[in-house]
Structure 1
Amino acid sequence: MGELRILAVPFVASGPSGVAIRTHLKQLTAGDEEVLRLVGAHLGSLASKDLKARCRDGLEHSAETWAVRKRELTPLSSSRWAGSITKATHDQWALARRCQSAHIQNLEAGIRTIEHRLSQPVGQKGTKHAPGGYRSRREWHAKSRRLRVLQDRLATTRADHEAGLVHVARGGKRLARTRHHLETAHLTESAWRGRWEAERWFCQADGESGKRYGNETIRVGPEGEVSLKLPAPLAHLANAPHGRYVLARGVAFAHRGSEWADRVTANRAIAYRIYLDTGRNRWYLTASWQTPPTPTLPIEAALTHGVIGVDMNADHLAAWRLDVHGNPTGSPRRFFYDLTGTAPHRDAQVRHALTRLLHWARSCGVRAIAVEDLDFGAEKTREKHGRRKRFRQLVSGMPTGKLRARLASMADATGIAVIAVDPAYTSRWGAQHWQKPLTTTIRKTTRHDAAAVAIGRRAQGHPIRRRTAPPPQHRSDAVGHRTVQAGPDVPGREGTRPRIPGPRTRSVRPGRGVNAGNRNAQHRPGRSAEHETWQQDSLPLSL
């Protein structure tokens, strides 16, 4: 068995640092929709120009250039609108910069893998830790050409990164490319044009503490009245004093409405965003604000009532409750979800599965949920997994980031701690040590259920390997000799016990004699010898 890598220490995940809630703008009049469209289109054009200026500045950006851009936008909108636009532009450029760095790392990983496999003989089989050569000369030739393509891409991307050049499309590159494949996307040109323009609109404003209702640009009162400050060129559309426009109907927040109302009455900062969902043809209002970080609970306190180990899979969450000693109690639970369809559908499926999981945890009285600290960012490249296309699709489809963020947010609201553990070997060792012992005549334990037990035990600091009882007194090696419970300081205690070749007796040294562990291989009356066939002789007829 190869050397095991060092396992990371389990830790309690930090809670969310912000809150975002959404509501539907219902029963808007034709005038309301027209004003929202004009405001979004006008501010969107300003945001596009500002993004172009920010990308042109590149690494030469400074506070002075930021102030210059804001002063140029103020006469065309307002001081607060200009501040929101420049801040959103800066965030978008920074996000593109981080994505560019991640793309460089992905290209470097692919190039390293291809170079290693090209250096191996054709047909060379790989090992557990390193891939082998390619299967045929044809595949070797194709991968050598792909290596040159990746090297060219890497050189171009590195040059852009060093120069501070990023490539950003307001509205999204995917939607922009859809314009050339309307039949495949089942869209008409007019439908695509409406979606493209709606994605490029800009109607969002940051909050200000101390101002009326926490926002001077887009204001929502305690009774739900929505009003917004019109940009200077559209001030003639105002239906309220001070160049403001008030929507005909108010809004109400069903989720966390009391928290929102407390912030509004206290004039604390709340950011708002108004946008159009072209698929449903509905207008929505999103409110968001920052929250002070929740003090993380010590891991010892979180584990006082046991833990629920959760193994995330492509279509369900496998969970099992463990007591304070690391023993599985009750039966495993599975929370299924469907990750096909649109992004809102997938998000809702994950949210519903986590809701059922948290309700079960509260009913059990458990205050901690253990999950794997998964990160498939560098594990789903084409070069790493090669022909395993189905596995790459499986890994890419698992919403690890979204599930981790949603679980941390939802668990924080219910007072349940989330413990992240190292994912190394949990599935393998769980199946090896727990799947068979937990399988009964009325319950079939899967590998995922056993992995949930392994995850929970690792969060509690227990080894994954089960403790087996020593042999009784009347047998050899009386008590304690054959237990597999390793001490906490024993290196490789999580690994498989190496098999010692030879007999299991003390009279014969290993590697000599007949295998004593196989009773059929021993020279005993009624037992066959090793590598021999035994057949009873026929009885004499004289008898």
Structure 2
Amino acid sequence: MGELREVAAPFVVPGPAGVSIRCGLEGLTGQDEEVLRTVGGLLGSLASRDLKARCAAGLDHDSDQWARRKRVVTGQSSSRWAGSITKATHDQWALARRGQLAHIQHLRTSIDMIAFRLSLPVGAKGSKGSPGGYRSRQEWFAKARRLHLLQDRLERERADREAGRVRVVRGGKKLLRHRHNLQAARLTGTRWRERWEAGRWFLQADGESGKRCGNETIRVTPDGEVSIKLPAPLAGLANAPHGRYVLACRTGFRHRGEQWADRISANGAVAYRIHYDVERDRWYLTASWQNPPVRTMPLEAPRSGGLIGVDTNADHLAAWRLDPHGNPVGEPRRFPYDLSGNAPHRDAQVRHALIRLLHWARRHHLAIAIEDLDFTAEKTREKHGRRKSFRKLISGLPVSTLRARLVAMAAELGIVIVAVDPAYTSKWGAQHWLRPLTSKNRATTRHDAASVAIGRRALGHRIRRRTAPPHTHQSDGCRHRTAQAGHGAQGREESRPRIPGPRTRSDGAECGAKAADQYAQHRSGHTAGHGFWQQDPLPLSLQER
């Protein structure tokens, strides 16, 4: 058996760092749309040139070069638009660098796995911790060729990273590739061109604290009036003083509208982005702002009243409520979702499952414990080989989406999220809790048992229930102890003391021969001197019905 890895300590997940809300711009006139397209096209061309200059600078870029780039863009637009464009360029370049590093780490993992499997004999069986050798000489030869291919890619990526080269496509690399195969993408040339131009427009402005309504470039008043500060070359299109263009429509945010109204009333910084959805032929306005830093709650606070352990699966969330001592309370709950279909459908399914989970937690005033999952290194085909169904399963888990949604939605309801290490939760949960929690009236699954293990780890308890019981007829007979001792009970992991009385079942307690004269017998360590020990009663949730 391999050595178990160290399990990380649970921690309270901090709330989201920012807020983003969206609403539609309904009632735009033809002139409004034409102005938005013209402004977006001009600023988009400036953003493309600025990104090209930033990528050309590479690692030699400094604050002076940033200032020069901003002066160039300011001469063709305005200082505020130039600040938004250069900041967006910097963020995009930094994101490309992080993606480049993640790709290098993925290549290293794949190369190490292929090299390990090539070193094993053909047909060698693997274990649960590591895969075995390849099945045939043909597969071994194909993987040897792939190893050289990945090594070449790794060398190129390393050289690009050392030189500071990144590859960025404004508008999206996926859409760019669709241009070479329009039939497979089910697009026409005209339709593709509309998507490409709309994806490269730039209509976003950073917030400014202390300014009117939190933004001078794109301003939204409390009554819903939207106005845009036009760039200098397009000042002739203005229909309001000071080179501004006011849209004919009125807008409002239904979700978190009160928070937005309070923020702009206090002139807090709010960033806005206007974008066009080609599929729906609609314009949207997105508002975003940062949350003030909040001190993280200590872990003892959510543990005091128990919590809800949640196991994440490909098609549902398995949850079980636990008391402060780690005992399951009530019945397990399941919150299903369907991840088939398009992205909006999948996102709606995840949100629907999470809101039911959060409402259940709020009714009982409990925190939620969930695994800190990350399958970045587990999705590679080099580790799992031909197990396509398993690779598809772990790739289909909505890990990042669920984690981001859960943290944001829980923060709105005031529910604490505790993250735990996912190591061995499914295995140990099934080993220690699956059978005791199964009865004639309840069919417990491995996922339900895993949720109990996750909750116990978040509470600071061991996953296992108790140590193994004594042999038959010494104490408990053939039944396993199902009661869980409290967290502070002394000797909760020790063997159960023997109750005074006869050692056989033929006589009752204190009824055997010389039962009343135990102290007269000169025995070493006789049990008459021990105090009476009684096991805690079963919790109500585990009593047989």
TM-score per shorter chain, which class? Answer: 0.7 to 0.9
Q: What residue identity is the alignment partner of 1:409?
A: A
Instruction: Tell me, in whole angstroms, the C-alpha distance in 1 between the residues paired with 2:441 and 2:76.
Output: 72
- 1:313 matches 2:340: no
Mapped contact 2:219–2:226 kept (Cα < 8 A):
yes
Instruction: Tell me, in whole angstroms, the C-alpha distance in 1 between the residues paired with 2:200 and 2:438.
Output: 56
Mapped contact 1:104–1:158 kept (Cα < 8 A):
yes
- 1:140 matches 2:129: no
Instruction: Tell me, in whole angstroms, the C-alpha distance in 1 between the residues paired with 2:261 and 2:480.
Output: 66
Instruction: Tell me, in whole angstroms, the C-alpha distance in 2 between the residues paired with 1:13 and 1:477.
Output: 42
Instruction: Tell me, in whole angstroms, the C-alpha distance in 2 between the residues paired with 1:483 and 1:365.
Output: 27
Q: CA deviation at 1:104?
A: 0.4
Partner of 2:405 in structure 1? 406
Moved more, 438-447 or 193-202: 438-447
Instruction: Tell me, in whole angstroms, the C-alpha distance in 1 between the residues paired with 2:481 and 2:278.
Output: 67
Q: CA deviation at 1:476?
A: 6.5
Helix, strand or coil for the counterpart of 1:275? strand
Q: What residue identity is the alignment partner of 2:393?
A: L
Partner of 1:354 in structure 2? 354
Partner of 2:71 in structure 1? 71
Instruction: Tell me, in whole angstroms, the C-alpha distance in 2 between the residues paired with 1:299 and 1:110.
Output: 37
Q: What residue identity is the alignment partner of 1:210?
A: G
* CA-to-aligned-CA distance 1:309-333 (integer Å, 9 cap, x gap): 0011111111111111111111111
Partner of 1:515 in structure 2? none
* CA-to-aligned-CA distance 1:205-256 (integer Å, 9 cap, x gap): 0011111111010000111110000111111111100110001011111111
Instruction: Tell me, in whole angstroms, the C-alpha distance in 2 between the residues paired with 1:237 and 1:193.
Output: 25
Partner of 2:275 in structure 1? 275
Mapped contact 2:318–2:333 kept (Cα < 8 A):
yes
Helix, strand or coil for the counterpart of 1:76? coil
* CA-to-aligned-CA distance 1:30-85 (integer Å, 9 cap, x gap): 11111111111111111111111110000011001111111111121111001100
* CA-to-aligned-CA distance 1:16-42 (integer Å, 9 cap, x gap): 111111111111111111111111111
Partner of 2:57 in structure 1? 57
Helix, strand or coil for the counterpart of 1:435? coil
Partner of 2:285 in structure 1? 285
Partner of 2:372 in structure 1? 373
Partner of 1:220 in structure 2? 220
Q: What residue identity is the alignment partner of 1:245?
A: Y
Moved more, 464-473 or 7-16: 464-473
Q: What residue identity is the alignment partner of 2:109?
A: A
Partner of 2:192 in structure 1? 192
Partner of 1:390 in structure 2? 389
Q: CA deviation at 1:297?
A: 1.4
Cα distance, 1:195–1:478 mapped onto 2, change above 3 Å = closer
Q: How many residue pairs align between the two structures?
A: 490
Instruction: Tell me, in whole angstroms, the C-alpha distance in 2 between the residues paired with 1:483 and 1:174.
Output: 55
Q: Which runs of 5+ in 1 are unaligned?
A: 495-543
Q: CA deviation at 1:472?
A: 10
Cα distance, 1:138–1:484 mapped onto 2, change above 3 Å = farther
Partner of 2:236 in structure 1? 236
Q: What residue identity is the alignment partner of 1:146?
A: R
Instruction: Tell me, in whole angstroms, the C-alpha distance in 2 between the residues paired with 1:453 and 1:488.
Output: 16
Q: CA deviation at 1:404?
A: 1.1
Helix, strand or coil for the counterpart of 2:245? strand
Partner of 1:444 in structure 2? 443
Helix, strand or coil for the counterpart of 2:228? strand
Q: What does residue range 79-478 of structure 1 map to in structure 2 within 5 Å?
A: 79-366=79-366, 368-467=367-466, 470=469, 475=474
Cα distance, 1:435–1:476 mapped onto 2, change above 3 Å = closer
Cα distance, 1:474–1:444 mapped onto 2, change above 3 Å = closer
With normalisation by structure 1, the TM-score equals: 0.86
- 1:33 matches 2:33: yes
* CA-to-aligned-CA distance 1:498-531 (integer Å, 9 cap, x gap): xxxxxxxxxxxxxxxxxxxxxxxxxxxxxxxxxx
Helix, strand or coil for the counterpart of 2:169? coil
Mapped contact 2:2–2:129 kept (Cα < 8 A):
no
Instruction: Tell me, in whole angstroms, the C-alpha distance in 2 between the residues paired with 1:327 and 1:73.
Output: 63
Mapped contact 1:123–1:136 kept (Cα < 8 A):
yes
Q: CA deviation at 1:474?
A: 6.1
Mapped contact 2:219–2:227 kept (Cα < 8 A):
yes
Q: CA deviation at 1:440?
A: 2.3
Moved more, 340-349 or 88-97: 340-349
Instruction: Tell me, in whole angstroms, the C-alpha distance in 2 between the residues paired with 1:359 and 1:424.
Output: 28
Mapped contact 1:469–1:483 kept (Cα < 8 A):
no
Cα distance, 1:347–1:473 mapped onto 2, change above 3 Å = closer
Q: What residue identity is the alignment partner of 1:412?
A: A
Cα distance, 1:476–1:22 mapped onto 2, change above 3 Å = closer
Q: What residue identity is the alignment partner of 2:197?
A: E
Instruction: Tell me, in whole angstroms, the C-alpha distance in 2 between the residues paired with 1:379 and 1:465.
Output: 27
Cα distance, 1:100–1:338 mapped onto 2, change above 3 Å = same
Helix, strand or coil for the counterpart of 2:433? helix
* CA-to-aligned-CA distance 1:85-134 (integer Å, 9 cap, x gap): 00000000000000000000100111111111111111111233232211
Q: CA deviation at 1:294?
A: 2.4
Instruction: Tell me, in whole angstroms, the C-alpha distance in 2 between the residues paired with 1:341 and 1:181.
Output: 23
Q: What residue identity is the alignment partner of 1:400?
A: V
Q: What residue identity is the alignment partner of 1:453?
A: V
Partner of 2:16 in structure 1? 16
Mapped contact 2:24–2:251 kept (Cα < 8 A):
yes
Q: CA deviation at 1:486?
A: 11
Q: CA deviation at 1:475?
A: 3.4
Percentage identity across paired residues of the two chains: 70
Instruction: Tell me, in whole angstroms, the C-alpha distance in 2 between the residues paired with 1:97 and 1:471.
Output: 59
* CA-to-aligned-CA distance 1:434-487 (integer Å, 9 cap, x gap): 122222223221111111111001101111112379569963699999999999
Q: CA deviation at 1:157?
A: 0.5
Partner of 1:541 in structure 2? none
Instruction: Tell me, in whole angstroms, the C-alpha distance in 2 between the residues paired with 1:249 and 1:476.
Output: 79
Moved more, 453-462 or 387-396: 387-396
Instruction: Tell me, in whole angstroms, the C-alpha distance in 2 between the residues paired with 1:487 and 1:327.
Output: 9
Cα distance, 1:477–1:239 mapped onto 2, change above 3 Å = closer
Cα distance, 1:472–1:61 mapped onto 2, change above 3 Å = closer
Cα distance, 1:484–1:148 mapped onto 2, change above 3 Å = farther
Cα distance, 1:329–1:231 mapped onto 2, change above 3 Å = same
Moved more, 209-218 or 437-446: 437-446
Mapped contact 1:307–1:324 kept (Cα < 8 A):
yes
Q: What residue identity is the alignment partner of 2:258?
A: S
Q: What residue identity is the alignment partner of 2:377?
A: A
Mapped contact 1:468–1:484 kept (Cα < 8 A):
no
